[in-house]
């Protein structure tokens, strides 16, 4: 079978089945059965597919997913997250779209506390969303920023995905992480600007700014010092154990969980009940994601085995290209793949083709790595397969549909694409930091 | 005219695949009227540790893998890395036949060829240390040399390949075991300062054919593939030349040699060998004695 | 029937609690190794292998419970657009197909389990165990998923139950 037929059949079947409302994990398993019969040579291949599914989870690099989610759930159910967010909320006032801005600021802050976009979205979604809906914000404006800002967690250290990308592509992980900081901040600023503009034009929440106005700045800042600043000890534990050589990147995630537990103990917020509850909630979200990974990893293997992936990439790499064209092709392929498969599989499939292709034309590898990270971030929120959309659906009230979440994210998606375009057109915006710090 | 699907267990673009690439090209040039090899891909298509299973059940016709990736199915194959004689000698003395029989039995696979012969493993360090007493030194291990490094007194840390670089960078481990090839592939050279000589054990990358598929081939195809197998086993000088280049490149990059001589050298090698055979004895004793006589005759006394 | 359903739900919940507990243990042994390693104490040197195994076991133990509480994500855009009566039928068909799929996968998984047990293949890492021990969770997962999906296709799971998380 020609590779383009294989590609059409597999992606087409996946899209069609998703539309029936079958859980995403089962959609992948269905397509895998079809792919197994078509390409892996019948029954023997199907058995192997089951084994590959089991094998796909025997991967230590996946361990940070449950760990960072446990961290987020602990912050959530012990009330540490709510206290931190309300402290931020007291500092931000008298702006149009106040609460959505609070979610962008808190989200960017939590990005430095956590290496997992999914944990961040789960945490902000379960604390801030009900509050915003209660205060009368349009679901459109309440949902969008929370989902979009979740992706910033992979640009700001600690970041499980940046570590994985750096390792797979043999890039300097420190340079890559430093390069991610500027785009992340630009993105956060643009999110805020959009929220303000939209609130001015379309109107804000019906319920006005509820915070008392008689307090002095110090009274308003005190909760921030008490409930937010100490949390950065968690950041220091994660990043410090990594930089200090005590732990590998994956192990540092576990250190983060331990630090969160200690913080909850010191705040006297930890109980057996909320510990158990946090664990069950974390197990629910991580189990959901890991079960999707079983299906999607095997799916990407079948894409590779059928020759569909390499056929497409070989077609592209055969052309004589300039640096910019190479980057644009990387972006196009990643954005399209990102609609269907997960971040880890995207890297596994494409890096063996794109790294040599980029090296051949002398592309700055940190630039390429950063473009990769931005594309991976965008893929988190592009339908039909967008992990952050799913996480949001998992924590939002039942009447919020996946369709509504998806449309709410669109303006923020456009902003992210804008930042991506900026970095492609003007790499120095991001690269001056690593250039300066590492004298590259 | 049959077409066979070929998959490698090593990531594409790494040096380990050089023998396979040569083999596929050679077969496709010389066996034009009996058999064609179609290279499908690497771990992105079949996970490294499942390639053995894929060959066993015929999802893949030809697999290119190291025994360390399929130990769970064929524990005895780990004896290959303990060989002290060459693949050519094993063809002569019956070692190849025994290994083939074991692969037939346990993996439903034909042990067509054994490449990367003569490429040893080395202990690489970021700090100077006494190789015969590594207490206090943390090393990243893989199953291949776990028993040996533990015997040397090292603190062993298990780290997935992707995280070895940051672990070296940050000093979580002060050393790794690896072959003489491919240190630069991984970027590890930026942190490695010392290499311990001599190397120990030998690499193996084996070309394995699903047994049913092999038996179903006509005599012409079998003969042509077997000839190609002998040819590719004779191509190991390509890797040995590369190895010489790599060692020079390591020296240029400032990697210093910690050389063991005389008795200390013998002790280092003996402990490597003993640790490996003892481990195999524990896991799968069935063929140990025969294997040791045929693959490592001088250690068998 | 109701009693049977309650027993089924209890089994799913127990498996899930075991899964959650195992995930908590991954944190404990990892931190244990990080903290003790500098002192040369290697009680948890096996933690990487244990964590990898736990990811497998926990995921397959959790999946059926997650479906039962309605927390497996699905794309509901089309169901929202379709007329309600049609949407119900599309959904039931999807559950039905899911049941067939999981039954099929469960049957394949039993085959793999038996084959591994019969050939005596080993999981060889810092500890050595028979491979089939690990594979036992897979048939459980798909069998339980299959039953749950049959219940849904038959309309025995109400919306309230599904939304309760
Ligand atoms: Na982060
Ligand atoms: Na996506």
- For A8-29, give one letter per residue: b (16+ CB within 10 A) or e: ebbbeebbebbbbbbbbbbbbb
Give C-chain residues touching A294 at CB under 8 angstroms. 59
pLDDT of residue C64: 96
> Quick count: other Cβ atoms within 10 Å of Cβ B43?
21
Across the interface, which of A45, A248, A307 has its CB nearest the CB of B159? A248
Query: Which pairing describes strands B2-8 and B35-41: parallel, antiparallel, or unpaired?
Result: parallel
Q: Is the pLDDT of residue A210 over 60?
A: no
Q: Is A167–B57 a contact, with Cβ atoms under 8 angstroms apart?
A: no
Q: Is the pLDDT of residue A206 over 60?
A: no
User: In sequence order, what are the beta bridge partners of C43?
Assistant: none
Highest mean pLDDT among A70-74, A355-359, C103-107: C103-107
Residues 6+ apart with CB under 8 A from A362: A323
Give A-chain residues touching B53 at CB under 8 angstroms. 48, 51
**Among B52, B213, B154, which Cα is nearest to C116's?**
B52
Q: What spacing in Å lies between the alpha carbon of A388 and ligand 2's midpoint?
A: 9
Could you give phi then psi for residue A408, rounded to 5 degrees? -65, -30
Distance CA C20, CA C10 (A): 15
Distance CA A9, CA A33 (A): 13
What pLDDT digit, counting tens, does each position of B255-296 carry? 999 999 999 999 999 999 999 999 999 989 999 999 999 999
Q: Is the pLDDT of residue A71 over 80?
A: yes
Residue B65: Cβ-neighbour burial (10 angstroms; 0-12, 13-18, 19+): buried
Q: Is C90–A288 a contact, with Cβ atoms under 8 angstroms apart?
A: no
Q: How far is CA A193 from CA A86, A98, A144, A200, in A?
A: 21, 12, 14, 11
Distance CA A111, CA B40 (A): 40
| Mean per-residue pLDDT over chain A, rounded | 84
Compare all CA atoms of chain B with the CA of A250 and give the residue at the minimum distance: B163
Across the interface, which of B73, B146, B155 has its CB nearest the CB of C121? B73
Q: Is B57–A48 a contact, with Cβ atoms under 8 angstroms apart?
A: yes
What pLDDT digit, counting tens, does each position of B113-133 carry? 999 998 999 999 999 999 999
Average pLDDT of the residues in A270-286: 92
Q: What spacing in Å lies between the alpha carbon of A318 and ligand 2's midpoint?
A: 27
Residue B91: Cβ-neighbour burial (10 angstroms; 0-12, 13-18, 19+): middle
| Mean per-residue pLDDT over chain C, rounded | 88
Task: Tell me which of C34, C35, C122 to substitute to probe the interface with B (most B C-beta atoms closer than 10 Å).
Answer: C122
- Reported as a pLDDT band with limits 50, 70 and 90, residue B300 is low
Q: Is C37–B146 a contact, with Cβ atoms under 8 angstroms apart?
A: no
* ipTM > 0.90 for the complex: no
Where is pLDDT greater, at C151 or C78? C151
Distance CA A353, CA A313 (A): 7
Q: What's the half-sphere exposure (Cβ side, CA atoms, 13 Å) at B26? A: 18
Contact status of C78 with chain A (Cβ, < 8 Å):
yes
Rounded to a whole number, what is the distance in angstroms from the first to the last CA of chain A?
Answer: 47
Residue C13: Cβ-neighbour burial (10 angstroms; 0-12, 13-18, 19+): middle
Please state the pTM of the whole predicted model.
0.85
Query: Which pairing describes strands B194-200 and B256-259: parallel, antiparallel, or unpaired?
Result: parallel
Q: Is B44–A245 a contact, with Cβ atoms under 8 angstroms apart?
A: no
The ligand whose atoms approach the alpha carbon of A234 most closely is 1
Give A-chain residues touching C62 at CB under 8 angstroms. 283-284, 286-287, 291
pLDDT of residue A18: 81
Give C-chain residues touching B155 at CB under 8 angstroms. 37, 40, 42, 45
Contact status of B279 with chain A (Cβ, < 8 Å):
no
Compare all CA atoms of chain B with the CA of A60 and give the residue at the minimum distance: B160
Domain span holding position A28? 3-438
What pLDDT digit, counting tens, does each position of A2-30 carry? 778 887 888 788 888 888 888 888 998 99
Q: Is C131–B158 a contact, with Cβ atoms under 8 angstroms apart?
A: no
**Among B182, A28, B178, B88, which Cα is nearest to C72's?**
A28
What pLDDT digit, counting tens, does each position of C106-143 carry? 999 999 999 999 998 988 877 889 999 999 999 999 99
Question: In this structure, what token pair is assigned to residue B129?
Answer: 């240390």
Give C-chain residues touching A59 at CB under 8 angstroms. 52, 55
Give C-chain residues touching B135 at CB under 8 angstroms. 40
Cα angle C163-A143-A334, degrees, rounded to a multiple of 5: 100
Cα angle B172-B177-B183, degrees, rounded to a multiple of 5: 90
Rounded to a whole number, what is the distance in angstroms from the first to the last CA of chain C?
Answer: 23
Give C-chain residues touching B75 at CB under 8 angstroms. 122, 124
Q: Beta strands of A150-260 (E only): which ranges?
A: none
Task: Tell me which of A280, A387, A390 to substitute to probe the interface with C (most C C-beta atoms closer than 10 Å).
Answer: A280
**Among B169, B178, B218, B182, which Cα is nearest to B201's?**
B178
**Among A322, A332, A394, A422, which Cα is nearest to A363's?**
A322
Q: What's the half-sphere exposure (Cβ side, CA atoms, 13 Å) at A119? A: 33
Determine the distance in angstroms separating the CA of A60 from the nearest CA of chain C, rounded to an integer: 5
Question: In this structure, what token pair is assigned to residue A226?
Answer: 């008490």
pLDDT of residue C164: 33
Distance CA A338, CA A161 (A): 14
Give B-chain residues touching A44 at CB under 8 angstroms. 57-59
Average pLDDT of the residues in A277-285: 91
Q: Is the pLDDT of residue C160 over 50?
A: no
Give B-chain residues touching A168 at CB under 8 angstroms. 162
pLDDT-wise least confident of A91-100, A200-209, A245-254, B55-64: A200-209
- Reported as a pLDDT band with limits 50, 70 and 90, residue A212 is low
pLDDT of residue A109: 82
> Quick count: other Cβ atoms within 10 Å of Cβ A353?
20
Q: What spacing in Å lies between the alpha carbon of C56 and ligand 2's midpoint?
A: 24
Average pLDDT of the residues in A44-58: 90
Q: What spacing in Å lies between the alpha carbon of A272 and ligand 2's midpoint?
A: 37
Q: Is C108–A393 a contact, with Cβ atoms under 8 angstroms apart?
A: no
Contact status of C53 with chain A (Cβ, < 8 Å):
yes
What pLDDT digit, counting tens, does each position of A163-200 carry? 768 766 777 777 888 899 899 999 999 999 999 999 88
Determine the distance in angstroms separating the CA of C154 from the nearest CA of chain B, rounded to an integer: 37
3-class SS of residue C16: helix
What pLDDT digit, counting tens, does each position of B171-202 carry? 788 999 998 888 887 778 888 999 999 999 99
Do residues A338 and A382 touch, judged by C-beta distance below 8 A? yes
Q: Is B49–A55 a contact, with Cβ atoms under 8 angstroms apart?
A: yes
Highest mean pLDDT among A11-25, A51-65, A176-190, A305-319: A176-190
Query: Which pairing describes strands B138-141 and B155-158: parallel, antiparallel, or unpaired?
Result: parallel
Q: Is B47–A55 a contact, with Cβ atoms under 8 angstroms apart?
A: yes
3-class SS of residue A133: helix
Average pLDDT of the residues in A76-100: 84
Contact status of C79 with chain A (Cβ, < 8 Å):
yes
Q: Is B72–C131 a contact, with Cβ atoms under 8 angstroms apart?
A: yes
**Among B82, B56, B140, B89, which Cα is nearest to B280's?**
B82
Average pLDDT of the residues in A271-292: 90
Distance CA A114, CA A123 (A): 11
Q: Check whether the bond before B268 is cis (ω within 30° of 0).
A: no
Q: How many domains does chain A have?
A: 1
Do residues C144 and C72 touch, judged by C-beta distance below 8 A? no
Percent with pLDDT over 90 in chain B: 73
pLDDT of residue A232: 79
Length of chain C: 165
Percent with pLDDT over 70 in chain A: 93
Query: At CB < 8 Å, which residues of chain B contact C?
Result: 71-73, 75, 106, 135-136, 138, 143, 146, 155-160, 283
pLDDT of residue A312: 73
What pLDDT digit, counting tens, does each position of B28-83 carry? 999 998 999 999 988 888 989 899 999 999 999 999 999 989 998 999 999 999 99
- For B176-202, give one letter per residue: b (16+ CB within 10 A) or e: bbbbbbbbebbbbbebbbbbbbbbbbb
Across the interface, which of A59, A61, A352 has its CB nearest the CB of B12? A352
Compare all CA atoms of chain B with the CA of C131 and give the residue at the minimum distance: B72
Do residues C135 and A54 touch, judged by C-beta distance below 8 A? yes
Give C-chain residues touching B146 at CB under 8 angstroms. 126
- For B212-246, give one letter per residue: b (16+ CB within 10 A) or e: ebbeebeeebbebbeebbeebbebbeebeebbeeb
Give C-chain residues touching B71 at CB under 8 angstroms. 122, 124
> Quick count: other Cβ atoms within 10 Å of Cβ A1?
12
Contact status of B72 with chain A (Cβ, < 8 Å):
no
- Reported as a pLDDT band with limits 50, 70 and 90, residue A211 is low
Could you give phi then psi for residue B207, rounded to 5 degrees? -95, 115
Compare all CA atoms of chain A with the CA of C29 and give the residue at the minimum distance: A254
Give B-chain residues touching C132 at CB under 8 angstroms. none
Compare all CA atoms of chain C with the CA of B143 and give the residue at the minimum distance: C125
Cα angle C58-C60-C64, degrees, rounded to a multiple of 5: 115
Q: What spacing in Å lies between the alpha carbon of A120 and ligand 1's midpoint?
A: 9
Q: Check whether the bond before A384 is cis (ω within 30° of 0).
A: yes
Q: Is A57–C135 a contact, with Cβ atoms under 8 angstroms apart?
A: no
| Mean per-residue pLDDT over chain B, rounded | 91
User: In sequence order, what are the beta bridge partners of B2?
Assistant: B35
Do residues C108 and C28 touch, judged by C-beta distance below 8 A? no
Residue C38: Cβ-neighbour burial (10 angstroms; 0-12, 13-18, 19+): exposed
The ligand whose atoms approach the alpha carbon of A335 most closely is 2
Distance CA B154, CA B137 (A): 5
Task: Tell me which of A167, A176, A177, A294 to substitute to probe the interface with B (most B C-beta atoms closer than 10 Å).
Answer: A167
Do residues A4 and C51 touch, judged by C-beta distance below 8 A? no
Q: Is C126–B146 a contact, with Cβ atoms under 8 angstroms apart?
A: yes
Distance CA C14, CA B134 (A): 46
Determine the distance in angstroms separating the CA of C115 from the nearest CA of chain A, rounded to an integer: 10
Q: Is C52–A22 a contact, with Cβ atoms under 8 angstroms apart?
A: no
Average pLDDT of the residues in A227-245: 80
Q: Is the pLDDT of residue A231 over 90?
A: no
Contact status of A19 with chain C (Cβ, < 8 Å):
yes
Diameter over CA atoms, chain C:
66
Residues 6+ apart with CB under 8 A from C7: none
**Among A163, A342, A181, A157, which Cα is nearest to A236's?**
A157
């Amino acid at each position: 079978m020609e590779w383009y037929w294989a590609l059409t059949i597999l992606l087409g079947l996946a899209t069609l089945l998703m539309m029936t409302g079958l859980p995403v994990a089962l959609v992948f398993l269905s397509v895998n059965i079809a792919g197994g019969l078509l390409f892996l040579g019948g029954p023997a291949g199907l058995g192997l597919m089951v084994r590959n599914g089991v094998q796909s989870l025997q991967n230590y690099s996946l361990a940070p997913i449950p760990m960072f989610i446990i961290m987020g759930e602990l912050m959530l159910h012990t009330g540490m997250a709510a206290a931190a967010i309300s402290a931020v909320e007291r500092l931000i006032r008298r702006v149009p779209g106040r609460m959505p801005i609070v979610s962008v600021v808190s989200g960017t802050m939590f990005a430095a506390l956590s290496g997992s976009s999914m944990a961040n979205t789960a945490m902000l979604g379960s604390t801030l969303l009900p509050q915003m809906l209660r205060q009368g914000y349009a679901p459109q404006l309440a949902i969008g920023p929370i989902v979009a800002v979740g992706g910033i967690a992979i640009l700001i250290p600690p970041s499980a995905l940046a570590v994985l990308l750096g390792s797979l592509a043999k890039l300097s992980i420190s340079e890559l992480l430093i390069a991610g900081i500027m785009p992340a901040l630009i993105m956060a600023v643009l999110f805020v600007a959009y929220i303000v503009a939209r609130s001015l034009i379309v109107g804000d929440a019906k319920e006005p700014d509820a915070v008392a106005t008689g307090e002095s700045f110090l009274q308003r800042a005190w909760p921030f010092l008490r409930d937010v600043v100490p949390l950065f000890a968690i950041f220091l534990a994660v990043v410090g154990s990594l930089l200090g050589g005590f732990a590998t990147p994956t192990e540092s995630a576990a250190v983060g969980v331990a630090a969160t537990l200690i913080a909850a103990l010191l705040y006297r917020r930890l109980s057996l009940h909320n510990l158990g509850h946090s664990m069950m909630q974390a197990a629910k979200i991580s189990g959901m994601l890991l079960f999707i990974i079983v299906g999607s990893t095997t799916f990407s293997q079948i894409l590779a085995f059928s020759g569909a992936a390499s056929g497409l990439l070989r077609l592209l790499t055969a052309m004589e290209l300039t640096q910019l064209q190479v980057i644009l092709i990387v972006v196009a392929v990643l954005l399209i793949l990102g609609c269907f498969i997960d971040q880890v599989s995207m890297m596994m499939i494409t890096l063996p083709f794109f790294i040599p292709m980029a090296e051949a034309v002398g592309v700055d590898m940190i630039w390429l790595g950063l473009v990769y990270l931005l594309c991976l971030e965008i893929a988190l929120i592009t339908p039909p397969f967008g992990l952050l959309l799913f996480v949001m659906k998992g924590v939002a009230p039942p009447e919020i549909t996946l369709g509504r979440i998806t449309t709410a994210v669109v303006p923020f998606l456009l902003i992210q694409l804008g930042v991506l375009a900026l970095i492609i057109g003007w790499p120095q915006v991001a690269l001056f930091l690593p250039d300066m710090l590492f004298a590259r | 005219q049959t077409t066979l699907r070929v998959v490698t267990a090593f990531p594409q673009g790494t040096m380990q695949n050089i023998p396979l690439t040569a083999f596929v090209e050679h077969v496709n040039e010389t066996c034009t009227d009996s058999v064609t090899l179609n290279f499908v891909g690497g771990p992105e298509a079949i996970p490294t540790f499942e390639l053995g299973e894929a060959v066993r059940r015929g999802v893949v016709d030809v697999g290119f893998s190291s025994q360390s990736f399929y130990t769970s199915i064929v524990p005895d194959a780990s004896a290959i890395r303990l060989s002290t004689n060459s693949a050519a000698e094993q063809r002569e003395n019956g070692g190849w036949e025994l290994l083939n029989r074991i692969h037939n039995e346990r993996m439903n696979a034909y042990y067509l060829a054994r490449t990367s012969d003569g490429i040893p493993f080395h202990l690489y360090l970021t700090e100077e240390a006494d190789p015969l007493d590594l207490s206090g030194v943390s090393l990243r291990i893989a199953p291949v040399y776990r028993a040996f490094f533990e015997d040397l007194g090292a603190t062993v840390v298990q780290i997935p390949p992707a995280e070895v670089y940051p672990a070296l960078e940050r000093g979580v481990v002060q050393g790794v075991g690896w072959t003489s090839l491919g240190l630069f592939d991984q970027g590890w050279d930026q942190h490695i300062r010392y290499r311990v000589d001599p190397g120990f054990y030998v690499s193996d990358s084996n070309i394995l054919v699903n047994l049913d598929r092999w038996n179903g081939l006509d005599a012409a195809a079998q003969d042509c593939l077997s000839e190609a197998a002998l040819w590719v086993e004779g191509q190991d000088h390509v890797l040995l030349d590369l190895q010489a280049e790599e060692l020079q490149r390591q020296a240029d990059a400032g990697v210093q040699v910690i050389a063991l001589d005389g008795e200390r050298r013998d002790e280092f090698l003996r402990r490597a060998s003993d640790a490996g055979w003892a481990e195999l004895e524990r896991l799968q004793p069935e063929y140990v004695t025969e294997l040791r006589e045929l693959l490592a005759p001088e250690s068998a006394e | 029937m109701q009693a049977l359903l309650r027993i089924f739900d209890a089994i799913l919940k127990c498996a899930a609690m075991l899964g959650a507990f195992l995930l908590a243990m991954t944190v404990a042994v990892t931190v244990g190794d990080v903290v003790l390693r500098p002192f040369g104490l290697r009680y948890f040197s096996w933690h990487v292998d244990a964590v990898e195994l736990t990811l497998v076991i926990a995921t397959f133990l959790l999946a059926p419970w997650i479906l039962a509480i309605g927390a497996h994500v699905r794309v509901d855009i089309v169901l929202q657009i379709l007329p309600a009566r049609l949407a119900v039928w599309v959904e039931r068909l999807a559950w039905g197909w899911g049941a067939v799929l999981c039954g099929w996968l469960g049957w394949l998984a039993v085959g793999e389990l038996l084959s591994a047990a019969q050939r005596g293949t080993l999981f060889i890492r810092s500890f050595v165990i028979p491979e089939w021990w690990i594979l036992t969770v897979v048939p459980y997962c798909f069998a339980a998923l299959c039953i749950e999906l049959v219940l849904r296709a038959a309309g025995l799971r109400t919306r309230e139950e599904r939304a309760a998380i």
